Amino acid sequence: MIISGIGWISKKKYGCIKKGIRKDYTDVKSLCLKLQSESVFSYPVKSFGRFDVASKMACCAGALALYDAGVKYSKKYKQDIGIIGTNADGCLKSNLNYFKDYVQTGRKLARGNLFIYTLPSSPLAEASIHFGFQGPLLYIMFPQKQVPSLLQYAEGIISRREASTVLAMKVNEEKAVCFVLKEVAKTK
């Protein structure tokens, strides 16, 4: 296996490892606009404004990693690419937002657009939909050594031929790192 690209986002900076990109941004909305203007995103992310912050971070980190790896994607074609993710809190912040909305409306009804993000796999799903992935999608909470465990699990997906390429990301509302893993072509 090789890691063919890495995209990352911190509180005020973002970048790509192979391409040596390191730039500033002010908020997630401005980050998305910068990535669109720099052609990191092949096309605008549909409904980006309604995403929770973790989903916005997942889409941006995924786009950076794909860009770093030179992997193209389009609206027209689906790809055999999987996506797996981890973090320490699951979707706790989104669950709290949903519950607060539920309490504020008299415990009768909360907004459905908040409910969508009460699953820890939702950020991965939003990214997978945008990029046109058809491989496995899963969230795994690793109690320790999150990044090494994530990369090892992604390697297993590829070696079992469940997907030819896997995006492995550690993402939350404040930061993200995404790796593109591929199988090395065997030489004779």
Torsion of CA 39, 85, 146, 21, to 10 degrees: 0
Note the pLDDT tens digit of each residue in 34-57: 999 999 999 999 989 888 899 999
Note the pLDDT tens digit of each residue in 155-170: 999 999 999 999 999 9
Contacts of 37 by beta carbon, 8 Å cutoff, 6+ apart: none
Side chain identity at residue 163, one-letter code: A
Which DSSP letter does residue 134 get? -
Relative to beta strand 81-86, strand 21-24 is unpaired
pLDDT above 60 (res 181): yes
pLDDT above 80 (res 187): no
What pLDDT does residue 133 have? 96
Question: 166: part of which helix (H) or strand (E)?
Answer: strand 165-171
Note the pLDDT tens digit of each residue in 95-125: 666 666 666 666 566 555 555 566 778 899 9
pLDDT, mean over the chain: 88
pLDDT above 70 (res 178): yes
With b meaning 16 or more CB within 10 Å and e meaning fewer, what string describes 102-133? beeeeeeebeeebebbbebbbbbbbbbebbeb
In the chain, pLDDT over 90 holds for what percent of residues? 71
Q: Report the sign of the C-alpha dihedral through residues 33, 36, 40, 45, in that order.
A: positive
In the chain, pLDDT over 70 holds for what percent of residues? 84
CA of residue 38 relative to chain centroid, distance: 19
What pLDDT does residue 121 have? 82
pTM to 2 decimal places: 0.88
Q: Are 5 and 66 in contact (CB under 8 A)?
A: yes
pLDDT above 90 (res 94): no
- CATH topology for 2-182 is Peroxisomal Thiolase; Chain A, domain 1 (3.40.47)
What pLDDT does residue 115 have? 54
Q: Which of 138, 143, 141, 133 is nearest to 157 (CA)?
A: 138
